[in-house]
Chains A and B, each alone.
Chain A
Amino acid sequence: MMDGMEDVLPSETNGTKSGRSDTVDLNDSTLQVDISDALSEREKVKFTVHTKTTLPDYAKPEFSVVRQHEEFIWLHDRFDENEDYAGYIIPPPPPRPDFDASREKLQKLGEGEGSMTKEEFSKMKQELEAEYLATFKKTVAMHEVFLTRLAQHTVFRNDHNFKVFLEYEQDLSVRTKNKKEKVEGLFKSFNKSTDEILLAATQKDVDDYFEREKTFLLEYHMAIKDATTKADKMTQAHKSVADSYIQLSSGLSQLGTIEGPRLEKFINKVADTFEKARKVEGRVSSDEDLKLSDTLRYYVRDGSAAKDLLYRRLRCLANYEQANKNLDRARAKNKDVHAPVDVADAELAQQNACEKFEHISNKAKEELNDLKARRVTAFKKNLIELAELELKHAKAQAQLLKSCLQSLPEE
């Protein structure tokens, strides 16, 4: 697994690492986290999280624990709920490992086994297995990216929960939300989104910068989400084209045996070419997926997290303004009576709110800028890699076809 993973590690990890090290002035080696191994067992995937650190808080300089997906989500939720981190963009949680699609395809293939030849069947099976492996590698990568971002964030890395996550050798006993909690969660998010909309409509932001950012993020989020879906469809279609070459190739070879000596060699060469072309096309599709779709997808999620940040800030602003109003009211009420308690309370509340708000605003500004820079770098890197890979594959295919064409007329 380890070796396999190295190749597949999405550039995001590297990109993020290097991006982060550009913008965050930290020595990477103080806390290094990676996923050294992963095991897929029926429904679950078990990740081996390996940490290397020079920080004094940790008991050992190097250690590993086994974690499951739910525990990653638990960690993310802890960060999300923590008010101290309200001003930061919380790294988006990794998506659940989803092998359903592959499993379905494998099943369909099994059912259709009778209708195709042995070789066709084994080829398709190989393809599916490769697909399964690719999905697996991707999910490992996503989990790793999540952890790495946390590890490199100046504030997050020191979080207690994070430490527990990395160190605690026993199972964290994080049970998945039971029904009630799920429903609660659903309500919460529903409330949050209505609140968001309400706020967006009513709350005027004092700071133009944030106002602009908000509009931008909203638009951008929609656009990038759309682009991601379309990119996914495109890579899927590409994969289907590549797969259909398999049938073409085997159909041709069978034709060759029937046709007899005259056409047989010719046909076999062509069938062979199609087989090779298919591999190239398949790679085009998976590269597109990796470089393009995944980048877009990641930034959809990151953008979502940024939106959350803005929302929190706005809420904070609303609270702040509310506190102001309360203070004014308290003062007004107690003008004569001089009941400093109420006023004091209100003053205190207002002060807290004010501080919080300022704190969030500053942090948020930083985070948003950071996000922008990260995004630009990641896109640049991935787009370049995408283009180069596409070019490489197209050249390979053109070459393949050319050599085939050259060898054909010889007969």
Chain B
Amino acid sequence: MRLYLIVSASPSLCPGDNPQATHLPRAWAPLARPPPHGSRLTADLFSTNPGALKSPVSEQTTTPEDQRSPEDPLTPPPPAASLTPEPHNPGTPPDLFESVAEGPVVVQGGSPKLSSVPLDLPAGGNGGEGKQQDTSEPPVPPSSILPPMGAPLTPPVVPITPTATPSLTPNITPAAPTPVTPVAVARSSPEQAEGDGGDEFIQITVSDPQKIGDGMSSYMAYKVTTKTNVSYFRKKHWSVMRRFSDFLGLHRKLVEKHLHSGRVIPPAPEKSAIGTTKIKLGSDKNADSGSLDFIERRRAALERYMNRTSTHPTLRADPDFREFVELDAELPRATQTSALSSAGVLRLLNRVGETVNKMTFKMDESDQWFEERTQQIESLDAQLRKLHASMERLVNYRRELALSTAAFAKATAVLSSVEEHSSLSRALHQLSESTERTQTIHHAQADADFYVLSENTKDYIQLISAVKDVFHERVKTFQTWQHAQITLAKKREAKAKAELAGRMDKVQQAQEEVTEWEGKVERSQEEFERISRAIKKEMEQFDVMRVKDFRDMVIKYLEDLMTSQQQIIKVWETFIPEAKAIS
């Protein structure tokens, strides 16, 4: 029962789409990718209780069917497991982290089953919250949580399975296709994941954009270099190549896993059909400044994205994330990120549904804190957008200034060559060179305006959207709770009616239903409270980070501006004697 309870308690496990469903909707979990995982558990699960987990059931996500039948949580998810990717054995928690299996392998059909169960969720918390399990007792691993993760569990890791009681479902067998090379990533114990080590340092740079392939099937690949002293990574310093859709795929997975726990997931850079097509179709030789600009923008955005994600301790420990930065081979194509895939379409539909939901449902906000924060977020959003618009204007004007200064420099050079008077001619020539130099300075400043100020502000606007999403998750949870309460009332009524009518058989059934719904109400209430707490904590951290980032950004910008001015000073200082020398 327990298991069941837990499982159903988190509808959100499903990748997002079903906010309310009481049962897991794994159903549409995008097939290709490993089940969206129960993110929450990821880190937690494994940490700490390796032992507890012995249960063979690996965490695969329970298939919907499983969920429905609380009775046997343990039954290994139907062989449907073909999934295979799951194989990891729950037994080895550490391994689990790894893999986020390449998606394709996993899940096919359906539910990546995770037999979660036994995992004991150490409430560890990643993200410190461990809230996930408020209710879970150690013994019952929040398997529920597992399910979502299912996929992520490294398929490759499979070999690890050994620890787990093999008896478990075969799914565990790595057999799974895991395309991923069995990276033996030595996963350090998950415990470390939890620690929000104060001294942890991780820095990611994205560099060397390269075009791989040709024509429409080509893509841009970037080198992701990570420097870290965090223990659960294998090395201190290494690089991997990743393509753009990999980044998007990572973001999707993180959202699926963590959003409903109340975490703010840094948004990934957007897709741009035009820019990408231009690059795909253009040859290397013709890379004009427009597409170079686009590539540079994207590279910078990806770098900021990676760094923001890695500063978040929970996300950093997430297996998907870790695999992303560490796996030395190509990641399976994140086909769900493509707009036209079935998953993409589903996502779109869901998004539409959610928007309607947002607009129609007015939540009865009892918590003062949330009310204030929501308002503040809204006005921050509006104001940042305005600010961003004026920043863009500044960038444009400065670029124009650089261009017109360059034109002037050329005209002055011409003038100087025509001028007969020799010292005036020299002076004019000098003027032309000075202007040329100021032009370069202006141009560099415009770039600084752009990258430091404008793009960062844009990132913030997107982050605020992510925050709004998290708040909305909470609203959804509230809705679930309300819905459960209403249904409970109805069931109670039905039971009373049956009692009155004296239909004992019906009464029995009604009783069962009442109990069932009582449980649901309880769970959804817990869920609501949990997410509220999580959000509060998350927001605190977010605020701190945001303030710091903002200050850093402004300070850097002012420093750049000051350097520009100092350079201009030098230029004019060299010019003056020349001007004075005109005889």
A residues with CB within 8 A of B: 216, 219-220, 223-224, 226-227, 229-231, 233-234, 236-238, 240-241, 244-245, 247-248, 251-252, 254-255, 258-260, 262-263, 266, 270, 273, 277, 372, 375-376, 379-380, 383-384, 387-388, 390-391, 394-395, 397-398, 401-402, 404-405, 408-409
Contacts and interface: CB of A to CB of B under 8 A. Distances in A.
Given A237-B404, A255-B387, 13 more contacts: A216-B418, A223-B414, A226-B411, A226-B414, A231-B408, A238-B401, A240-B400, A241-B398, A254-B383, A262-B547, A372-B421, A375-B421, A391-B569
Given A248-B390, A258-B376, A380-B427, A234 B404 contact: yes
B427 A383 contact: yes
19 contacts: A226-B411, A227-B408, A227-B411, A227-B412, A231-B408, A236-B404, A259-B547, A263-B550, A263-B551, A270-B558, A375-B421, A376-B424, A380-B424, A384-B579, A388-B576, A390-B572, A398-B569, A402-B562, A405-B562
* Interface size bracket, B side: 35 or more
Contact of A237 (B391, B400, B576): B400
B576 A227 contact: no
Contacts of A270: 554, 558
B566 interface: yes
B397 A227 contact: no
Q: Which 9 A-B pairs have the closest CB atoms?
A: A247-B390, A401-B562, A237-B401, A398-B565, A380-B582, A227-B411, A251-B387, A230-B408, A383-B579
Contact of A384 (B391, B398, B405, B576): B576
A49 to B, nearest CB: 33
Contacts of A241: 394, 397-398, 401
A220 B424 CA distance: 13
A391 B427 CA distance: 17
B551 A397 contact: no
Contacts of A402: 562
B542 to A, nearest CB: 13
Contacts of B397: 237, 240-241, 244
B497 interface: no
B572 A391 contact: yes
A394 B565 contact: yes
Contacts of A391: 569, 572-573, 576
Contact of B418 (A219, A233, A383, A395): A219
Contacts of B415: 220, 223-224, 226-227
B407 A230 contact: yes
Contact of A387 (B387, B390, B418, B579): B579
Do most interface residues of chain B lie in helix, strand or loop, or is the interface mixed?
A: helix
Contacts of A260: 376
Most interface-central of A220, A375, A384, A409 (chain B CB within 10 A): A384
A372 B582 CA distance: 13
Contacts of B565: 394-395, 397-398, 401
Interface in B535-579: 543, 547, 550-551, 554-555, 558-559, 561-562, 565-566, 568-569, 572-573, 575-576, 579
Contacts of A259: 380, 547
A259 to B, nearest CB: 7
B386 interface: yes
Do most interface residues of chain A lie in helix, strand or loop, or is the interface mixed?
A: helix
Contacts of B428: 379
Given A223-B415, A234-B408, A248-B387, A383 B400 contact: no
B390 A251 contact: yes
Nearest to A212: B420
Contacts of A372: 420-421
Contacts of A379: 424, 427-428, 582
Nearest to B431: A383
Contacts of B561: 277, 397, 401
A387 B572 contact: yes
A397 B424 CA distance: 30
Contacts of B410: 230
Contacts of B427: 379-380, 383
A235 to B, nearest CB: 9
Nearest to B435: A234
Nearest to A397: B565
Most interface-central of B376, B415, B576 (chain A CB within 10 A): B415
B362 interface: no
B341 interface: no
A80 B237 CA distance: 81
Nearest to B582: A380
B407 A255 contact: no
Nearest to A385: B579
A298 to B, nearest CB: 14
Nearest to A411: B551
Contacts of A216: 418, 420
Contacts of A263: 547, 550-551
Contacts of A219: 418
Contact of A398 (B550, B566, B573, B576): B566
